[in-house]
A and B are shown apart, each in its own frame.
Chain A
Amino acid sequence: MAGLTANTELLRQILVGFVRDEVRKVGIRKAVLGLSGGIDSALVVFIAAEALGPENVHAVCMPYRSSNPESEAHAGLVAQACGVNFSVVPITPMVDAYFEMFPDADNMRRGNKMARERMTILFDHSARLSALVLGTSNKTELLLGYGTLYGDMASALNPVGDLYKTHIWQLSEAMGVPREVINKQPSADLWAGQTDEEELGFSYRQVDELLYRMVDQRLTREELIAAGFAAEFIDTVHAKIQNSHFKRRLPVIAKVSNRTIDRDFRYARDWGK
């Protein structure tokens, strides 16, 4: 599929330019991001290092006690490979203190809490270091809603939010992300043995093929079936997109005035920049 094969040189130029321009225009020179050991944050840290210089990039690894130890090792490897600042801030004490009050919380609640705990640490580091928080959610997970609202989905700037997972793999290869990180099974790493693809029920490659046609090319359901996608798969994915749409929008404001924020009070975020 041509659309899922990106010109990585061009992509790199645009995304590096994006980070450099959008960070510096607000009068800031640094960025901070969570480095999980997975491929998405590894790619973003490579982009940021090239855009701002590795000395201006702070990568924070925030493991929980159930995180795979390999993740922290991979995060360190990535930070070393691109020469950025690296620190480890474990979240076990804060998360466990909270769930002592709610011991019967399920995995989803625990996972969301961990993601939001990490968010608070990144935004505190943002103030501490005078650095913008970079997001690492890719287009596949944003469309499927496979992320935590106000958790890993929170950031100031996201260079990879318009890249499908398939693009993330391609660009990571081109930018020299360590092989171990590219090759491993994608995982939210919220509990032992968790993998994205098992949890989602399909592979990233399969769903990217579908999403590209459904979202980017706007093929109809009939056209998608004719292109060889199972009706059930199409419907499942469509429902995921629709049901997670609230995560991709700002909170809904009840309109009472003539000029409501974001409805008829409309300014670009780069207003005056």
Chain B
Amino acid sequence: MSDFTAVLAQIKPKLGCVADNLALIEGRIQRAITDKADLIVFPELALTGYFLKDLVPEVALRTDSPEIARLRELSRSISIAVGFVEVTDDYRFFNTALYLEDGVILHLHRKVYLPTYGLFDEQRYLARGERFRAFHTKFGRMGLLICEDMWHLSASYILAMDGATTLICLSSSPGRGVEGDTLGSAEAWQRLTSTTAMFLNSRVLYCNRVGFEDGINFWGGSEYVAPSGESLARGRLLEEDSVTAKLDEGALRRERIFSPMLRDENLFVTMQELRRIERERRL
């Protein structure tokens, strides 16, 4: 596997405006192609905006829609990870992320953990995904997560055990907490991405959007965290940005030699205990 360059497109989508957002996304893709990047990552629901509520069915796209076909076409020049609302043949609506490579949908992830607390209300409008699967790409094995998914240890754990060495997290994280040195949600996420990378000896590509929707800010701060847990590139807070990260295969290899926790992870013990817990919970 070789080194590769990833761009994190920290954009400001317009709420409910698929055509405008597609144009914005295309612009960023063209620029990344010119800059000879290998992969470009967009935020969660980049094609639609976040607080959609009753707009969900109105902005949803089928995976065979012209918009997705256009992005597939562009993926002949650069790999693309992007979020949108997916509608299926049975009219369920998912918060979905696609990984596009060489003109095909290489992987489709439907957000499993739909937050419905505090300011969130996703499960009112969206159906829940039911799987975490790693997948092969030109740049090694990867896993996709959408925002809240990452706050569940099991999600990243499963992807890492499934062989992912790069975790891509697409996010629309609202900013809150102004007491500390930095924004509360930014600090919490930075701790999470760093810890996840370190625990699983994996890279994390975190792409978060910016802009405001009904007074709620999205804080940006997209970042590349190396398998050591160190943040090597980070986008601006609260402003549009483009973060370029060089993913160094050697660093991954070295980290896995120095800290072989994942190699030593005992899947048998984990499964045995989880099965026991599952059994006991059923009683």
Binding site for B on A (CB under 8 A): 2-3, 5-7, 10-11, 13-14, 17-18, 21-22, 25, 157, 265-273
Which of B54, B55, B214, B217 sits near A17, CB closer than 8 Å?
B217
A14 to B211, CA, bound (A): 10
A155 to B185, CA, bound (A): 28
Binding site for A on B (CB under 8 A): 14-17, 51-55, 175, 178-183, 211-215, 217, 237-239
Q: Are A6 and B178 in contact (CB under 8 A)?
A: yes
A267 to B17, CA, bound (A): 13
New contact pairs (10) apart from A13-B237, A270-B51, CB-CB < 8 Å: A3-B179, A7-B178, A7-B180, A267-B54, A268-B15, A268-B214, A269-B214, A270-B214, A271-B55, A273-B15
A22 to B217, CA, bound (A): 10
Q: Which chain B residue has the least Cβ–Cβ distance from A171?
A: B178
Q: Which chain B residue has the least Cβ–Cβ distance from A16?
A: B238
Q: Which chain B residue has the least Cβ–Cβ distance from A259?
A: B54
Q: Which residues of A contact B16 (CB under 8 A)?
A: 271-272
Q: Are A271 and B179 in contact (CB under 8 A)?
A: no
Which of A13, A157, A267, A273 sits near B53, CB closer than 8 Å?
A267
**Min CB–CB distance A265 → chain B (angstroms):** 7
**Min CB–CB distance A85 → chain B (angstroms):** 25
28 contacts between A and B (CB under 8 A): A6-B178, A6-B179, A7-B180, A10-B182, A17-B212, A17-B217, A18-B212, A18-B217, A21-B212, A25-B14, A25-B212, A266-B53, A267-B53, A267-B54, A268-B51, A268-B52, A268-B53, A268-B55, A268-B214, A270-B15, A270-B212, A271-B15, A271-B16, A271-B55, A272-B14, A272-B15, A272-B16, A272-B17
**Given A7-B179, A17-B238, are A270 and B217 also a contact pair (CB < 8 Å)?**
no
**Min CB–CB distance B177 → chain A (angstroms):** 9
Which of A5, A14, A268, A269 sits near B175, CB closer than 8 Å?
A14
A266 to B214, CA, bound (A): 13
Q: Are A270 and B53 in contact (CB under 8 A)?
A: no
Which of A13, A265, A272 sits near B238, CB closer than 8 Å?
A13
Q: Which residues of B contact A268 (CB under 8 A)?
A: 15, 51-53, 55, 213-214
**Min CB–CB distance B149 → chain A (angstroms):** 23
A22 to B180, CA, bound (A): 25
A74 to B176, CA, bound (A): 33
Q: Are A18 and B179 in contact (CB under 8 A)?
A: no
Q: Which residue, B55, B178, B212, has most C-beta atoms of chain A within 10 A?
A: B178
A157 to B239, CA, bound (A): 20
A6 to B175, CA, bound (A): 14
A18 to B238, CA, bound (A): 10
A25 to B13, CA, bound (A): 12
A10 to B179, CA, bound (A): 9
Q: Are B238 and A14 in contact (CB under 8 A)?
A: yes
**Min CB–CB distance A159 → chain B (angstroms):** 9
Which of A14, A25, A272 sits near B217, CB closer than 8 Å?
A14
A273 to B239, CA, bound (A): 17
A157 to B215, CA, bound (A): 8
**Min CB–CB distance B19 → chain A (angstroms):** 11
Q: Which residues of B contact A21 (CB under 8 A)?
A: 211-212
